[in-house]
Chain A
């Protein structure tokens, strides 16, 4: 076992896969010599060669389209989109092409492309370096959507994504690249080295897609969340002093409905938490599933906590960010209702 932060874990996943599978190639803006603006591909070009790890022109549409073509021709491309906020020029290629290729050719053509992209706020990045657009992608049939919350999962899930045969959009919450963040920006940053999930095997291992994780067992309520908000939810549970179970969904699509609903049916109360805006957000899907499967077990209306329905403002980052206080308030509310 080694101690890794999330960036090192992702780097290790790509390193392992480049070594194991000659079909794997890495492409994206600044990913080659430089090793990526977040350093996720550092050293990979030197080690595996510039035909396996290379810089692209600044064209997200081109990157994703080329990755599809490479995938069709037998490679397993891992494309980096520098920020999730910059994925939209490639949106048509994801929605109309990548997601539907298998379906429209009845399985004759497929493109096993993994798109990695940093998401989320908390770094004073303003509206174009802070977005959490996962729901835009979970709404598209045919792509898997993943977001890890710690280094161990990041590596294991990324390897699963690359090894799989379906396209994956892999969101990386950049605020927790270097350490778990509990939502309180006034506290000094904590590194992953002090966190159990910062222990990551050096070699090959997988964490399965479409399998949620219970990160904190609890009895009286269930928090459904993912990414940075897993850590914020843990802080909220401590703050509220309520023995809530925290489920890290990990793969948003296709969803592990069993783990989610088994927990809610047992606790009878549910809070859904994400950093993304609420309106039409992924939380709405979770709420719908929970009410379908757990309606007769629910003791209180389900609560949702998310970003306010505005673009991400630069000045009011911490008024905007759904911190532990708002999650704790929602938790208290589901406990009060009867």
Chain B
């Protein structure tokens, strides 16, 4: 028989009703991956891009050359940020279910990717996240009320009602505007970093992209520009195994790791246990030092698992086994850091429960305040006429005309502005 070409269509190891199976994941022992100097040549990171940088073992002990040796107070701050991020997510999801916001995206199970990386960077470093790194906002001390007001499109919304929930931005906090269009932020972060280099500043840029989104050409643009100009940028690729219903193999992860793409472009690639707070902190610190010293960019693949649905519009029981999250071999980042702190004698179940209560109170109080600035169904409301602002710096004639047209319609009561119950979601 003559061999013939045959279309290979990747399919995940398990679908609903089947046993979860993560045997495809290559795991290294904690402490096993070596830690090169930051001046390492991209070609010499081939191994790092295949192995998995891990610091925390199942015994909760930190081991190996990547141990960042953080002091317990710093670890406790990390735990607090991750826990707050999770509680905030849970609360916002419930609020969406009650029909009080139109949409939400949780980061459950992958909080360390944002929180540990955010903590390893400096406040002046510019962040270009995707929609699943709310932990960065928490790390930088953003008031939860601000985030909630954005989700509510109310009078305190930094986007003035123009964006769907979770599309935050924060100029003074150095966090760029989140885009609904996937991957666009990746090459933009490279451009920001190039500008820092042009201006001779020592701030660096960091961006995050999902493994699914890395199929967009923007990924290639970012890698090429970063490599060509040796831009001071950290390119994080969050491999949480799923992109809505398609598993990471559909994005190109079946035969090579995503981190391995780095050396192909001449950029060091590191594959890290994304649920290991210490490991994520350490590789970020390493990459930041590299960028700040003018050595160049780094690609970091964070291996994690999207424990929640893609968004509140999604039902993952249609495409993956319900029990997958429980079977995930790299555990839960919060439980792991908590276990580590307890093993160090620096934390306890009681303190954890107390912290959880305290943060719950904070989230509740924030929500109360946010609601007082208006909700989709009542309270103070933004002026609809503001929708014509910021299209351009100066409002052109045709928009002035349309604004006046709308003003007349509103005054005449022709446009019904009474609250609309949330329609069926896409």
Residues of A that sit less than 8 Å from B by CB: 29-30, 32-34, 37-38, 50-51, 54-62, 85-86, 88-89, 118, 122-129, 174, 178, 184-186, 189, 279, 308-311, 313-320, 323, 325-326, 329
* Complex partner residue of A320 from B313, B387, B410, CB under 8 angstroms: B387
Task: Say whether A329 contacts B414, CB under 8 Å.
Answer: yes
- Known contacts A124-B425, A308-B388, A319-B406, A85 near B251 by CB under 8 Å: no
- Known contacts A38-B426, A55-B246, A58-B243, A186 near B418 by CB under 8 Å: yes
Q: How many angstroms from the CA of A144 to the CA of B252 in the assembled complex?
A: 33
* Chain B residues with CB below 8 A from A34, complex form: 244-246, 318-319
Task: Say whether A29 contacts B244, CB under 8 Å.
Answer: yes
Q: How many angstroms from the CA of A125 to the CA of B422 in the assembled complex?
A: 11
* Complex partner residue of B426 from A37, A317, A329, CB under 8 angstroms: A37
List B153-170 residues whose CB lies under 8 Å from chain A: 153, 157, 159-164, 167
B411 to A: closest C-beta gap in Å:
13
- Known contacts A62-B215, A310-B387, A323 near B415 by CB under 8 Å: yes
Please give me the residue from chain B that is nearest to A323 by CB atom: B415
Please give me the residue from chain B that is nearest to A61 by CB atom: B217
Encoded as 1 (CB less than 8 Å from any A CB) or 0, chain B from 298 to 323 comes to 00000000000000011000110000
B420 to A: closest C-beta gap in Å:
4
* Complex partner residue of B162 from A29, A55, A85, A311, CB under 8 angstroms: A311
Task: Say whether A125 contacts B426, CB under 8 Å.
Answer: yes
Please give me the residue from chain A that is nearest to B316 by CB atom: A34
Q: How many angstroms from the CA of A59 to the CA of B406 in the assembled complex?
A: 39
Task: Say whether A128 contacts B180, CB under 8 Å.
Answer: yes
* Chain A residues with CB below 8 A from B342, complex form: none
Task: Say whether A86 contacts B181, CB under 8 Å.
Answer: yes
The 10 A-B residue pairs whose C-beta atoms are closest, nearest first, are A315-B161, A128-B180, A57-B215, A126-B164, A34-B245, A315-B153, A124-B102, A59-B215, A319-B384, A185-B420
| Interface-central residue, B167, B418, B425, B426, by most chain A CB under 10 Å | B426
* Complex partner residue of A314 from B11, B153, B416, CB under 8 angstroms: B153
Q: How many angstroms from the CA of A174 to the CA of B426 in the assembled complex?
A: 8
B34 to A: closest C-beta gap in Å:
32
* Chain A residues with CB below 8 A from B391, complex form: 309-311
Task: Say whether A279 contacts B217, CB under 8 Å.
Answer: no
Does chain A have a CB within 8 A of B179? Answer: yes
* Chain A residues with CB below 8 A from B161, complex form: 313-316
Does chain A have a CB within 8 A of B95? Answer: no
Task: Say whether B414 contacts A309, CB under 8 Å.
Answer: no
Task: Say whether A32 contacts B212, CB under 8 Å.
Answer: no
* Chain A residues with CB below 8 A from B244, complex form: 29-30, 34, 37
Task: Say whether A55 contacts B9, CB under 8 Å.
Answer: yes
- Known contacts A128-B164, A311-B162, A319-B384, A58 near B182 by CB under 8 Å: yes
* Chain A residues with CB below 8 A from B26, complex form: none
- Known contacts A314-B164, A325-B414, A56 near B426 by CB under 8 Å: no
Encoded as 1 (CB less than 8 Å from any A CB) or 0, chain B from 394 to 414 comes to 000011001000100110001
Can you list 9 A-B pairs, Cβ within 8 angstroms, ordered by A?
A: A33-B319, A34-B245, A122-B423, A126-B162, A126-B164, A127-B163, A185-B423, A189-B423, A308-B399
Q: How many angstroms from the CA of A57 to the CA of B243 in the assembled complex?
A: 9
* Chain B residues with CB below 8 A from A61, complex form: 216-217
Encoded as 1 (CB less than 8 Å from any A CB) or 0, chain B from 180 to 200 comes to 111000000000000000000
- Known contacts A86-B181, A315-B153, A326 near B414 by CB under 8 Å: yes
Task: Say whether A123 contacts B318, CB under 8 Å.
Answer: no
A171 to B: closest C-beta gap in Å:
15
20 more A-B residue pairs beyond the given contacts A55-B245, A61-B217, A62-B217, with a C-beta to C-beta distance below 8 A: A33-B11, A37-B244, A37-B313, A58-B182, A58-B215, A58-B243, A61-B216, A86-B181, A124-B423, A126-B164, A127-B180, A128-B179, A308-B387, A308-B402, A309-B391, A313-B161, A317-B420, A318-B416, A318-B417, A326-B409
* Chain B residues with CB below 8 A from A325, complex form: 409, 414-416
Task: Say whether B181 contacts A85, CB under 8 Å.
Answer: yes
* Chain B residues with CB below 8 A from A62, complex form: 215, 217
A219 to B: closest C-beta gap in Å:
26
Q: How many angstroms from the CA of A174 to the CA of B215 in the assembled complex?
A: 26
- Known contacts A34-B318, A58-B213, A189-B424, A124 near B387 by CB under 8 Å: no
Task: Say whether B15 contacts A33, CB under 8 Å.
Answer: yes
- Known contacts A85-B180, A124-B102, A319 near B387 by CB under 8 Å: yes
Please give me the residue from chain A that is nearest to B382 by CB atom: A315
* Complex partner residue of A186 from B213, B416, B424, CB under 8 angstroms: B416
Task: Say whether B216 contacts A89, CB under 8 Å.
Answer: yes
Q: How many angstroms from the CA of A62 to the CA of B252 in the assembled complex?
A: 13
Does chain A have a CB within 8 A of B353? Answer: no
* Chain B residues with CB below 8 A from A316, complex form: 161, 382, 384, 387
Please give me the residue from chain B that is nearest to A118 by CB atom: B426
Q: How many angstroms from the CA of A186 to the CA of B387 in the assembled complex?
A: 22
Q: How many angstroms from the CA of A127 to the CA of B164 in the assembled complex?
A: 8
- Known contacts A319-B417, A326-B414, A313 near B182 by CB under 8 Å: no
Please give me the residue from chain A that is nearest to B10 by CB atom: A55
- Known contacts A57-B252, A125-B426, A309 near B215 by CB under 8 Å: no
* Chain A residues with CB below 8 A from B251, complex form: 57-58
Q: How many angstroms from the CA of A54 to the CA of B250 in the assembled complex?
A: 10
A202 to B: closest C-beta gap in Å:
25
Encoded as 1 (CB less than 8 Å from any A CB) or 0, chain B from 321 to 341 comes to 000000000000000000000
List B79-128 residues whose CB lies under 8 Å from chain A: 102-103
* Complex partner residue of A310 from B102, B182, B388, B425, CB under 8 angstroms: B388
Task: Say whether B181 contacts A88, CB under 8 Å.
Answer: yes
B399 to A: closest C-beta gap in Å:
6
* Chain B residues with CB below 8 A from A32, complex form: 9, 246
